[in-house]
Amino acid sequence: MAEKSEYCEHILLSRVDLENSTSIDVYLKSGGYETLKKTVSGRQPQEIVDVVRESGLRGRGGAGFPAGVKWGFLPKDSKLPIYLIGNADEGEPGTFKDRVLIEKDPHQLIEGMAITAFAIKCHTAYIYIRGEFAKGAKILNKAIDEAYEKGFLGDKVCGTDFKFDIYVHRGAGAYVCGEETALIESIEGKKGQPRLKPPFPANVGVFQGPTIVNNVETLSSVPWIVKNGAEAYRKYGTEKSAGTKLFCVSGHVEKPGVYELPLGFPLMQLVNEVCGGVKDGKKLKGVIPGGSSTPILTPEECENVNLDYESLMEAGSMLGSGAVIVLDETVDIVRVAARLGKFYSHESCGQCTPCREGSGYISGLLQRLNEGKGEEGDLELIESLCDNMAGKTVCPLADAMVMPVKGFLKKFRSEFEARIRKKAYQKADKG
Ligand SMILES: Cc1cc2nc3c(=O)[nH]c(=O)nc-3n(C[C@H](O)[C@H](O)[C@H](O)COP(=O)(O)O)c2cc1C
Ligand code: SF4
């Protein structure tokens, strides 16, 4: 599933093809844990924060916030313990990159977390892993055991006074628990419902302690950056979107999979050249570029857009988690919208009225449209509901539903209107 390409050096996927890539011996043979050793025995925490900030590494969980800047928000001289959380919830539909990093190169993540912990003066970390990733949790636990045995984790990391422990915490299947504050509640043993921000986790996080939550891909990038330096990382990508990124391509392409590419890579080059084109030579209908929460792009919009934070924002969508979902000409957009609506209304945690009521209402209207039972005025009603949800809730899950729904209505409106006119019956989606 993880495919190597010739477009850039592999920072994240360099080991995934090796036999026994999850074992510590293979990791050590390829230079693994050398950077951790050098970091804890000869460098200052602030130096590491500075390198990561200067590298321009932005969070790969969706929002793209600069990692080093976030680390800098931690209070100086905190009396409470500082925590680090590796976000491995990976619930965004279309996203399957963190799974590859965990299942193929768990030590890279562990080393990244240990270096990050040293930089932010943290001694305890959690990896919050999606409940369905039973295999990944097993691989991680085994890798963590190996790291303890070799002295890369524990009371004396690499023989120094730096103490660092990692615990794996399995989720129970809620998409909203990928949101950092819901995740923190869940680790604390409570119902996984997002908290109001501020305070942000960097000030008040898990067990009230200052907490940094970073995505698995973000943390897995850290060893390479600290080893090779900020400038080397900035050789890839664009000025504002530095480095390489994993793109998980799914849907109607000849070669779906996870590809590591420099940020700023042209979207259509990814579809046509890297992924072998739209499946069976069919025409492209649209691309959802960054996971199901990001607005769809029409073929014309796809033509000249690059895969980086700024270019996709300019095109009216987002890079999100880097999940590129390709849809061919046969796709029924009304059905896609109805399916996504069902997902978001099911995953709403229910604590905010606009999200709880609005998501269910919109989903019901989309199902009705999909079944050919839509009424005149339904589209306007959906749009009005969307406007009453976006930006009015505790967490961005409501926006994550509104953005794609509005995109479908705006760009493929004629399909929705035709469905209302014809009242064509579509088999209800039982998924
Ligand atoms: C509904 C929702 C689900 C999310 N799911 C994930 C997820 O599965 N994995 C992830 O890393 N971030 C997810 N996020 C983003 C996190 O809240 C947080 O921004 C991220 O883990 C920070 O890490 P980063 O700065 O390295 O990207 C989600 C956000 C929302 C609103
Ligand atoms: S927006 Fe939705 S998912 Fe987020 S806190 Fe409110 S009800 Fe829960």
pLDDT tens, the chain, 431 aa long: 666 667 888 999 999 999 999 999 999 999 999 999 999 999 999 999 999 999 999 999 999 999 999 999 999 989 999 999 999 999 999 999 999 999 999 999 999 999 999 999 999 999 999 999 999 999 999 999 999 999 999 999 999 999 999 999 999 999 999 999 999 999 999 999 999 999 999 999 999 999 999 999 999 999 999 999 999 999 999 999 999 999 999 999 999 999 999 999 999 999 999 999 999 999 999 999 999 999 999 999 999 999 999 999 999 999 999 999 999 999 999 999 999 999 999 999 999 999 999 999 999 999 999 999 999 999 999 999 999 999 999 999 999 999 999 999 999 999 999 999 876 444 444 54
Ligand number, closest to the Cα atom of 354: 2
Element (H, E) at 51: helix 45-55
Ligand number, closest to the Cα atom of 193: 2
* Cα of 395 from ligand 2 centre, angstroms: 5
- Cβ-contact 295, 263 below 8 angstroms: no
Q: Which of 92, 177, 181, 351 to mutate to test the pocket of ligand 2 (most atoms within 8 A of CB)?
A: 351
* Cα of 194 from ligand 1 centre, angstroms: 12
**CA pair distance 161, 145, nearest whole angstrom:** 20
* Cα of 177 from ligand 1 centre, angstroms: 9
**CA pair distance 101, 143, nearest whole angstrom:** 13
| Residues in CB range of 13: below 8 A, 6 or more apart | 2, 4, 100, 104, 105, 246, 258, 260
Q: Decide: 178 in ligand 1 pocket, CB within 6 A.
A: yes
Q: Which listed CATH number (1.20.1630.10, 1.20.1440.230, 3.60.110.10, 3.40.190.10) goes with 333-422?
A: 1.20.1440.230
* Cα of 215 from ligand 1 centre, angstroms: 7
Q: Decide: 396 in ligand 1 pocket, CB within 6 A.
A: yes
Atom of ligand 1 nearest to the CA of 90: 8
Angle CA 200–84–245, to nearest 5: 90
Ligand 2 first shell, C-beta below 6 A? 176, 194, 348-352, 355-356, 393-395, 397-398
Report the pLDDT value the prediction gives residue 7, as an integer from 0 to 100: 85
In the chain, which residues fall in CATH 3.40.50.11540? 2-234
In the chain, which residues fall in CATH 1.20.1440.230? 333-422
In the chain, which residues fall in CATH 3.10.20.600? 244-328
* Cα of 357 from ligand 1 centre, angstroms: 23
Report the pLDDT value the prediction gives residue 2, as an integer from 0 to 100: 64
Nearest CA to ligand 2 atom 8: 349
Angle CA 8–10–11, to nearest 5: 120
Element (H, E) at 413: helix 413-422
Nearest CA to ligand 1 atom 7: 178
Architecture of the domain whose range is 2-234: 3-Layer(aba) Sandwich (3.40)
Atom of ligand 1 nearest to the CA of 95: 8
Q: Is CATH 3.30.70.100 what the domain over 244-328 is classified as, yes or no?
A: no
**Rg of the chain over all Cα atoms, to the nearest angstrom:** 22
Atom of ligand 2 nearest to the CA of 348: 3
Report the pLDDT value the prediction gives residue 423, as an integer from 0 to 100: 63
Nearest CA to ligand 2 atom 6: 352
Report the pLDDT value the prediction gives residue 1, as an integer from 0 to 100: 61
Cis bond before residue 223 (omega within 30° of 0): no
Sequence-ordered strand ranges (E) for 123-281: 124-129, 165-170, 211-215, 244-251, 257-262, 265-266
Q: Decide: 91 in ligand 1 pocket, CB within 6 A.
A: yes
Nearest CA to ligand 1 atom 6: 178
Q: Decide: 65 in ligand 1 pocket, CB within 6 A.
A: yes
Q: Decide: 87 in ligand 1 pocket, CB within 6 A.
A: yes
Report the pLDDT value the prediction gives residue 424, as an integer from 0 to 100: 46
Q: Decide: 86 in ligand 1 pocket, CB within 6 A.
A: no
Q: Decide: 63 in ligand 1 pocket, CB within 6 A.
A: yes
Report the pLDDT value the prediction gives residue 37, as an integer from 0 to 100: 98
* Cα of 386 from ligand 2 centre, angstroms: 14
